[in-house]
């Protein structure tokens, strides 16, 4: 009798613990779903506001006309071209430097103390406020030259590109199996050719994803460009002169009292958001294709 009673109490206790765990699991699941809905809700609201306010101003003239004077209609041709020029310059400067640094850290100095130091500094740069980068480039490039320029803006954006490319290059090369390197060494292939012909090809999708993510990050940067390229209401493709950029024009037009400028600011924000969204989707697709391969 005593044993039966103890068995019943143990069974009831186990049932109670199981029910308590199920309640806690249900509560945690509900909180997770609520947090997801909360985050996605804000995203939907932001995208909805951008589409609602920006789609009305979207027309061919936005891509063919210059920024207008106050109180008149116009387009965003010069800031779009200026943003493309500075982004291309930043990628041209930052991508090779980032890939070389990431290659050294993953292939040559994997176990050296210098690699740990570089990785630590790179992590700091990843989280550094962009306005600090802009102020630094202003001191070392704009002030000595005596004027703002697209070159200074591109260099500031390149400083933001480098840490992203370094991190993704190192991580992707670290994922390449060592057996591939050993097989290349067994047939007498030099390390440099092993890296370029085998490791780079194996990590190509991930490295390209890092470049796309870097482009997405710098596409919307405003603060460093205010210190370096400033702005230009007129057409300019010179690297040695102040140059308009889409984020800066959005910032200036959104604060203006003119409805035409405010409408262009919404349209520019929509264009910039869609461009960043497309780059992010492309990066995800490349990463997914690498995993499937």
For the cut 90, the answer to whether the pLDDT of residue 4 exceeds it is: no
| Pairwise CA distance, residues 185 & 199, whole Å | 13
Of the listed ranges 149-158, 236-245, 275-284, the one predicted with least confidence: 275-284
Look at the block and give the residue holding tokens 């490791």: 199
Prediction pTM value: 0.88
Q: State the average pLDDT over residues 232-254.
A: 93
Reading the block at residue 57, the tokens are 């101003």
Q: State the average pLDDT over residues 225-243.
A: 93
CATH code of the region 61-292 = 1.10.3720.10
For the chain, give the mean pLDDT: 90
pLDDT digits (tens, 9 = 90+) for 46-93: 999 999 999 988 999 999 999 999 888 899 999 999 999 999 999 999
pLDDT digits (tens, 9 = 90+) for 104-146: 999 999 889 999 999 999 999 998 999 999 999 999 999 999 9
Of the listed ranges 33-42, 118-127, 229-238, 278-287, the one predicted with least confidence: 278-287
Count CA atoms closer than 13 A to 165's CA, side-chain side: 27
Look at the block and give the residue holding tokens 């041709």: 77
pLDDT digits (tens, 9 = 90+) for 25-40: 999 999 999 999 999 9
For the cut 70, the answer to whether the pLDDT of residue 271 exceeds it is: yes
| Greater model confidence, 288 or 203 | 203
HEC-encoded secondary structure of 143-204: HHHCCCCHHHHHHHHHHHHHHHHHHHHHHHHHCCCHHHHHHHHHCCCCHHHHHHHHHHHHCH
| Greater model confidence, 23 or 34 | 34
pLDDT of residue 20: 79
């Amino acid at each position: 009798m005593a044993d039966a009673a103890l068995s019943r109490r143990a069974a009831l206790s186990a049932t109670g613990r199981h029910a308590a765990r199920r309640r806690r699991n249900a509560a945690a699941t509900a909180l997770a779903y609520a947090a997801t809905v909360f985050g996605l809700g804000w995203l939907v609201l932001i995208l909805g506001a951008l589409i609602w306010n920006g789609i009305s101003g979207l027309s061919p003239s936005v891509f063919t006309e210059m920024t207008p004077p106050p109180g008149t209609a116009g387009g965003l041709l010069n800031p779009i071209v200026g943003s493309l020029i500075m982004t291309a310059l930043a990628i041209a400067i930052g991508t090779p430097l980032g890939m070389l640094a990431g290659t050294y850290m993953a292939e040559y100095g994997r176990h050296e103390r210098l690699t740990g130091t570089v990785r630590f500094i790179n992590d700091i740069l990843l989280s550094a406020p962009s306005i600090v980068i802009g102020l630094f480039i202003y001191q070392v490039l704009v002030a000595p030259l005596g004027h703002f320029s697209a070159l200074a803006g591109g260099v500031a954006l390149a400083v933001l590109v480098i840490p992203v490319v370094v991190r993704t290059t190192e991580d992707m090369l670290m994922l390449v199996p060592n057996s591939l390197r050993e097989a290349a060494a067994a047939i007498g292939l030099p390390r440099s050719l092993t890296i370029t012909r085998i490791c780079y090809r194996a990590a190509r999708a991930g490295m390209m994803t890092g470049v796309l993510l870097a482009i997405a990050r710098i596409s919307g940067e405003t603060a460093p460009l205010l210190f370096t390229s400033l702005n230009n209401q007129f057409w300019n493709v010179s690297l040695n002169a102040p140059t308009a950029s889409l984020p800066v024009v959005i910032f200036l037009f959104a604060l203006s009292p003119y409805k035409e400028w405010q409408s262009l600011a919404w349209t520019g924000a929509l264009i910039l958001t869609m461009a960043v969204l497309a780059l992010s989707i492309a990066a995800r697709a490349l990463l997914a294709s690498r995993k499937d391969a």
